[in-house]
Amino acid sequence: MAEKIKVLISEEEVDARIRELGEKISKEYEGKQIHLICVLKGGVFFMCELAKRITVPVSMDFMCVGSYGDGTKSSGVVRLAKDLDESIENKEVLIVEDIIDSGNTLYYLMDVLRQRKPASLRLCTLLDKPDRRVKDVHVDWTGFEIPDEFVVGYGLDYAQKYRNLPYIGVVEVAE
């Protein structure tokens, strides 16, 4: 099975939008410190670029939560593979995610984190696929709303490949 990748969002468009998100988030958290929580593995590329563009003090932590495995559709079963290294109690928390489609993963994650009593809990995603939503998840900042296609690049993968692409592409699988 071979895949072809068609560019959906160029590197320049991604970079410009992340800059805009950084400005908006910086204004929202002016005078505060923000604690970014990256959802591994896909969110790393986005979080690093976003953090560089946020002008208020930033701390970071990482979680690994998933429902995909090696497929192109969510399995619907969410599992926590890596928890946070430090407490988020009384912190201004911003979850940074690469993509939200079914909402299963973020619905689960937001519930888990709310129980840890952060001062605030908000969500920023690079990509949003609202047509695939199964669980209602409020997204505070969205980079791009995209159609229901399987995408890779900028941290997103297909069977652990293509994360390093500097753009968002659509996977076209040739059988």
Name the residue with higher pLDDT: 67 or 100: 100
**Domains of the chain with bracketed CATH:** 9-149 (3.40.50.2020)
Radius of gyration of the chain (CA): 16
Confirm if 139 and 109 have CB atoms less than 8 A apart: no
Average pLDDT, the chain: 90
What is the rounded distance in angstroms from the CA atom of residue 23 to the CA atom of residue 137? 23
Give the model's pLDDT for residue 76. Answer: 60
Range name among 22-31, 84-93, 164-173 with the lowest pLDDT average: 164-173
Range name among 2-6, 40-44, 68-72 with the lowest pLDDT average: 68-72
Q: Residue 135 region, left (φ>0) first, then alpha (ψ -120 to 50), else beta?
A: beta
Give the model's pLDDT for residue 10. Answer: 97
Average pLDDT over residues 79-106: 92
Give the model's pLDDT for residue 73. Answer: 54
Please, what is the end-to-end C-alpha distance for the chain in angstroms? 5
What is the rounded distance in angstroms from the CA atom of residue 145 to the CA atom of residue 100? 10
Average pLDDT over residues 27-56: 96
Q: Which amino acid is at 41?
A: K
Angle at the Cα of 120 from the Cα atoms of 116 and 122, rounded to 5 degrees? 105
Angle at the Cα of 173 from the Cα atoms of 12 and 126, rounded to 5 degrees? 35
**Residue 158 DSSP label:** B
Give the model's pLDDT for residue 80. Answer: 81
- Tell me the catalytic residues: 101
Give the H/E segment covering residue 13: helix 11-28
Token look-up 């701390």 returns: 59
Is pLDDT above 90 for 2? no
Give the model's pLDDT for residue 173. Answer: 73
Kindly give the pairing relationship between strand 168-174 and strand 2-9.
Answer: antiparallel
Nearest to 100 by CA among 56, 59, 67: 67
Average pLDDT over residues 72-81: 65
